[in-house]
Chains A and B, each alone.
Chain A
Amino acid sequence: MTRTRRLLVDPIRCDAHGLCAELLPEMVQLDDWGYPIVSDQAVPAHLLGHARRAVAACPTLALLFAEAEVAQPARSRR
């Protein structure tokens, strides 16, 4: 298991609904206009469930997972 996931916001789609910051305050803060500032760290395992909920709840589907491979010999990826 060497896949880590980060979160990304598509700034064109994002409408500043702010649901993501309500559901995942650990990783998302809102700026003064209500647009999200998302942590660029990998989503820690214990927050993955919350992150998934935030991604699913975004009304404009602007919050996305970005899969990042962590350097390690590429073994069978499913």
Chain B
Amino acid sequence: MLVAATDPKALWYLTRSFGLVSLILLTVTVGLGVAQLVRYARPGLPRFLIAGLHRNASLLAVATLAVHIVTAVADPFAPIALIDAVIPFIGRYRPLWLGLGALSFDLLIALVVTSLLRQRMGLRAWRMLHWAAYACWPIAVVHGLGTGTDARTGWVQLLYVVCVGLVLAALAWRLSTRWTTAPVGRRLGGAAATAVIVVSVAAWASQGPLRAGWARRAGTPSAQLAPGAPTPGSHR
């Protein structure tokens, strides 16, 4: 399928592709954040470079998400307002799943802004807020599965699996590192909580977005579902 500039579906393609690019960037950001925390370094890959990449990947994610959001709002097919991207759960179009995207975006903005002002806000407050990264990323993944049209496409599923695998590996790395001062009990708790979340999300995904008929169940307004409705970018 060619995405010509005149194709009425172009906006919708942009929304989806920039969503996936943002997922990759967020995954990279989390991985680099952990790499920085555990003091990973190699000859030719010094720590300041990892720190800089971590920061820049997160800034890039903000930019790609801006495209993701603006194109989603501009797409005449789905009734999404700009405010739905900022204030969670108020929209008409798949309110829960879109709302999770808004929530994740809010967390991302909070993470980036506080990090840029880190020197002024003090270390403790910044550290506490930076934990939000571990909420921001999984919420974004559930948003992607729940809103996405692509959850049933093979290579997209592969991308999700790779991203989830990378973040799980980063978490395992973080929980097992000698740099962590947290007591063993708390680390095991973290690992157990992670396992519960992964299993529940996987169970939900296999019953929900990975099955046919998700669009209706996800809360797509009936106007967009009616057969023969005007469909520039017919969401399944």
Contacts and interface: CB of A to CB of B under 8 A. Distances in A.
A57 B48 contact: yes
B36 A59 contact: yes
A19 B123 contact: no
B53 to A, nearest CB: 12
Contact of A18 (B37, B47, B118, B122): B47
B47 A22 contact: yes
Contacts of A22: 46-48
A56 B119 contact: yes
A19 B119 contact: no
B123 A17 contact: no
Contacts of A19: 47-48, 51
Interface in A12-69: 13, 17-19, 22-23, 55-57, 59-61
Contacts of B46: 22
B152 interface: no
B48 A13 contact: no
B39 interface: yes
B48 A55 contact: no
Interface residues of B, number: 13
Contacts of A23: 48
Given A17-B39, A22-B46, A59 B51 contact: yes
Interface string B115-126: 000110011000
Contact of B51 (A13, A55, A57, A60): A57
Interface in B83-140: 118-119, 122-123
A61 B51 CA distance: 13
B92 to A, nearest CB: 43
A57 B37 CA distance: 13
A61 B36 CA distance: 14
A55 B37 CA distance: 17
Contacts of A18: 39, 41, 47
A7 to B, nearest CB: 14
Contacts of B118: 56, 61
A73 B49 CA distance: 43
Contacts of B123: 13, 60-61
A17 B118 CA distance: 17
Contacts of B51: 19, 57, 59
Interface of B: 36-37, 39, 41, 46-48, 51-52, 118-119, 122-123
Interface of A: 13, 17-19, 22-23, 55-57, 59-61
Question: 8 shortest A-B CB distances, which residue pairs?
Answer: A22-B48, A61-B123, A22-B46, A19-B48, A19-B47, A23-B48, A57-B51, A57-B48
